[in-house]
Amino acid sequence: MSVRDPLTIADPEQLTADLVHLSTIVDSTVPGWTRQALTEADVVGRHWVRARMAEAGLDAHIDGAGNVIGVLHGTAPGNSAIMTGSHTDTVEGGGRYDGNVGVAAALEVVRTLHTNNVRLRHDLIVVDFFSEEPNRFGISCIGSRALTGFITPEDLDRVDSDGVRFADELTRIDIDPSALLSSRMDSSRIKAFVELHIEQGPYLEEQGSDIGLVTSITGIKRFRVAFRGRPDHAGTTPMNRRHDAGCAAAGSVLAIEQIASANVDGRGTTGLVTFTPDAVNIVTESAELWGEFRSPDLRWLDDAGTEFHSAVQREGASRSVEAQLDWLPSEQPAGMDDRFIEVTAREADRLGLKQSRLYSGAEHDAAIIAKKIPTAMIFVPSKDGRSHCPDEFTADKDIHSGANVLLNTIITLDRELDFD
């Protein structure tokens, strides 16, 4: 029996059913579909993915960094590999598609290869990367950073706002911090990484495109600022005698908006602000804010950082409030592999899908992996461009189209890539 070319996924409904199942493994005390890394829901979710990988015929395990890894062994001698996957952790109050689509589609790709008796020459490695979303220690993409050697002992010593150490949190969910540090993969054997993901923005829908081919992924500069002023009576302390840490934080929040708004590709967001004490009749003694800048332009990111540092100093000094700016692990902009973009473009064409090329303002494990392994990303449209919210939605037919492009890209790469 000859195999159809291009091939299409064997059981689209099974792929949809896997996504529906993942959406039931959530923290029901939080709105939306919430499965944050370091929580029980995420542990249960990753074990479910491991079992599902095994059912699909993969040699599956959870590595020392919490990544769920499944291997479909290739036919050629040696151990060159192609890798695909994404993440199943979510932001708080997130949606059902961010990350999950790339993992569920990879499972269906494997089942389809089996159903059609297609044997790849390369090993196919499917990964559900641990903790892609930024956690409360200010670090994202933990699993992909560990695999590529971009995580340090200092990262594990970071503390959250309550003073809890990241390493201790990992231990609590049975991830040994020293195993995490040594969970590097041999990237020289992996010839390609391809990640399928939802766009999370409005571009593909506006273009009427079925598929997005990512050209590059944003750079990110994250930070945390601690302000320390003085607690005073809210009614008796004249305005010019206050050391209001809350106002210094508020001025810095506005500076983030102002700096990013001055550049068309700049993005600046404050994600968290806390005031202590949180009482309406006390001048705020201390405040903390967490935020980030994003841009495809590394120079702009550096300049934005310098400008923000000055703004923080100014907002603190004008109120005699101490300000401490702490830069968190950042990401450089990452280019996708030109040859692989052409392969995904060709496969989308052969499937009769309308495609656009675009830059990703969202962060992905692919940006980390691309530092070591030639990488491509395939996007599918997001309804109204919404993401990181419960309204996030991508139609089944678009997910199935994306899975078809992923499937044929893997088959073609397996055929065309040098094998050594």
Whether the CB-CB separation of 359 and 218 falls below 8 Å is answered with yes
Q: How far, CA to CA in Å, does 108 sit from each of 18, 270, 352, 366?
A: 9, 38, 20, 20
Binding marks (x or -) toward Mn ion, 61..100, rule CB under 5 A? -------------------------------------xx-
> What contacts 12, CB < 8 A, 6 or more positions away?
108, 396, 400, 403
Largest CA distance in the chain: 87
Burial label, 338 (beta-carbon count in 10 A; 0-12, 13-18, 19+): exposed
Q: Which of Mn ion, ligand HGY, none does 195 bind, CB closer than 5 to 8 A by kind?
A: none
Distance from C-alpha of 273 to C-alpha of 91, rounded to nearest angstrom: 17
Q: Which of ligand HGY, Mn ion, none does 288 bind, CB closer than 5 to 8 A by kind?
A: none
Q: With respect to Mn ion, which residue has the nearer C-beta, 251 or 296?
A: 296
Q: Which of Mn ion, ligand HGY, none does 292 bind, CB closer than 5 to 8 A by kind?
A: none
What is the closest distance, in whole angstroms, from the C-beta atom of residue 371 to Mn ion in the complex? 18
Q: Which of Mn ion, ligand HGY, none does 363 bind, CB closer than 5 to 8 A by kind?
A: ligand HGY
User: Applying CB under 6 A, does 128 fall inside the site for ligand HGY?
Assistant: no
- Region 346-365 residues binding ligand HGY, contact defined as CB under 6 A: 362-363
- Region 240-279 residues binding ligand HGY, contact defined as CB under 6 A: none
Q: Which of Mn ion, ligand HGY, none does 65 bind, CB closer than 5 to 8 A by kind?
A: none
User: Applying CB under 6 A, does 132 fall inside the site for ligand HGY?
Assistant: yes
- Region 284-323 residues binding Mn ion, contact defined as CB under 5 A: none
Distance from C-alpha of 191 to C-alpha of 214, rounded to nearest angstrom: 18
Task: Please report how many Cα atoms fall inside a 13 Å half-sphere around the Cα of residue 317, on the Cβ side.
Answer: 6
Q: Using alpha carbons only, how large is the chain's radius of gyration in Å?
A: 23
> What contacts 24, CB < 8 A, 6 or more positions away?
none
Binding marks (x or -) toward ligand HGY, 70..109, rule CB under 6 A? ----------------------------x-----------
Q: Which of 128, 133, 210, 244 binds ligand HGY (CB under 6 A)?
A: 133
What is the closest distance, in whole angstroms, from the C-beta atom of residue 363 to ligand HGY in the complex? 4
Distance from C-alpha of 378 to C-alpha of 198, rounded to nearest angstrom: 8
Distance from C-alpha of 292 to C-alpha of 278, rounded to nearest angstrom: 24
Q: Which residues bind ligand HGY (CB under 6 A)?
A: 98, 132-133, 362-363
Q: Which residues bind Mn ion (CB under 5 A)?
A: 98-99
